[in-house]
Amino acid sequence: MEASRAASNIGFWSLGGSRSTVNLVTVVMGSQSA
């Protein structure tokens, strides 16, 4: 799911990395699910 990954990256930078851990886990989980 490249679109989801891109969305997660955009959200990460928009938040200034304040929730980097949450986003990282989300990306990893999404990659494994796909």
Give per-residue pLDDT as tens, 1-34.
688 888 777 766 666 655 667 778 888 888 877 5
pLDDT of residue 3: 81
pLDDT of residue 29: 81
pLDDT of residue 30: 83
In the chain, what are the domain boundaries? 2-33
Tally Cβ neighbours within 10 Å of residue 12: 18
Angle at which helices 2-14 and 20-33 pack, to 10 degrees?
Answer: 180
pLDDT of residue 24: 80
Q: Taking the complete model, does pTM exceed 0.85, yes or no?
A: no
pLDDT of residue 12: 64
The span from the first CA to the last CA of the chain, in angstroms, equals 6
